[in-house]
């Protein structure tokens, strides 16, 4: 693995197959691993939230989720070959769970969403052994009990389906207590598998326009987010390119 720094954020160069091999090593060795995918929104959040940035920097596996991150890396001269979309890795890992008899635990989303998602996976993989699941609505004083529930489930993989930075903070705080070898925040992936939302068409995924499709599906929630984060990310990239040009000229 090669890890690059892109505008202050470390990102691994592994593709999805290499990432899965690394995850399986953690499970085989029973060593703890926090995984994160980074996108435009997280890059922007890291600039104003140093605690969140520190959590990202400490993660064992960091993949580029969005095409804008890959493009920005290339513009800055970093050979990041491809993205590893969180939802794609999530679904691939459930297939691995079925094949290798690893037990996943699902934590997040509304109750009906997580139930529909588990049902969809079990329909697709009838022999899948689910360690457990629960919705993502809880109070702070419940966190310890949730961590114990996950630990006692004997899960090999934990997938957390709520928003950032809450999911990264939860994992950073409770991974030692839970003892699950592989933990991954998957954001809205539960909604996709359950059928609550849909993924953008392939051409939009490859064109870096998934954000536009998300606004189309959830205009009230998403337009404000992207109206802030997209211009902020472009500004970050412009400053990074200017610094790169200045450094090149000086040398």
Kindly report the pTM of this predicted structure. Answer: 0.93
- Model pLDDT, residue 15: 94
- Model pLDDT, residue 81: 76
- Model pLDDT, residue 251: 67
CA dist., res. 191 & res. 125, Å (int)? 19
CA dist., res. 23 & res. 19, Å (int)? 6
CB 98 within 8 A of CB 127: yes
Chunked into runs of 10 residues, the chain (251 residues) has average pLDDT values of: 90 96 97 97 94 97 93 90 92 98 98 98 98 96 97 98 95 97 96 90 76 77 83 95 85 67
- Model pLDDT, residue 171: 97
- Model pLDDT, residue 30: 96
* Domain residue ranges of the chain, discontinuous segments joined by +: 3-137+145-250
- Model pLDDT, residue 154: 98
- Model pLDDT, residue 193: 96
Q: Exposure of 190 by Cβ count < 10 A (0-12 exposed, 13-18 middle, 19+ buried)?
A: buried
């Amino acid at each position: 693995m090669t890890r690059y720094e892109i505008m202050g954020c470390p990102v691994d160069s592994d593709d999805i197959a290499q990432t899965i091999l690394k995850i399986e090593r953690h499970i085989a060795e029973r060593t703890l691993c926090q995984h994160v995918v980074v996108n435009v929104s997280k890059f922007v959040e890291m600039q104003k939230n140093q605690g969140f940035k520190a959590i990202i920097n400490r993660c064992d596996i960091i993949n580029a989720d969005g095409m804008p991150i890959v493009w920005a890396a290339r513009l800055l001269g970093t050979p990041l070959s491809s993205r590893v979309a969180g939802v794609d890795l999530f679904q691939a890992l459930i297939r691995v769970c079925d094949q290798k008899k690893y037990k996943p635990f699902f934590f997040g989303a509304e109750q009906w969403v997580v139930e529909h998602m588990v049902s969809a996976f079990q329909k697709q993989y009838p022999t899948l052994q689910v360690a457990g699941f629960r919705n993502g609505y809880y109070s702070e004083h419940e966190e310890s009990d949730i961590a114990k529930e996950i630990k006692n489930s004997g899960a090999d993989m934990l997938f957390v389906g709520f928003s950032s930075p809450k999911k990264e903070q939860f994992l950073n705080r409770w991974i030692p207590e839970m003892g699950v070898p592989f933990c991954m925040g998957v954001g809205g992936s539960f909604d996709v598998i359950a059928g609550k939302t849909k993924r953008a068409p392939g051409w939009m995924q490859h064109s870096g326009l998934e954000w536009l499709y998300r606004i189309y599906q959830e205009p009230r929630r998403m337009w404000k987010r992207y109206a802030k984060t997209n211009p902020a990310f472009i500004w970050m990239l412009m400053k990074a390119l200017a610094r790169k040009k200045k450094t090149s000229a000086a040398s």
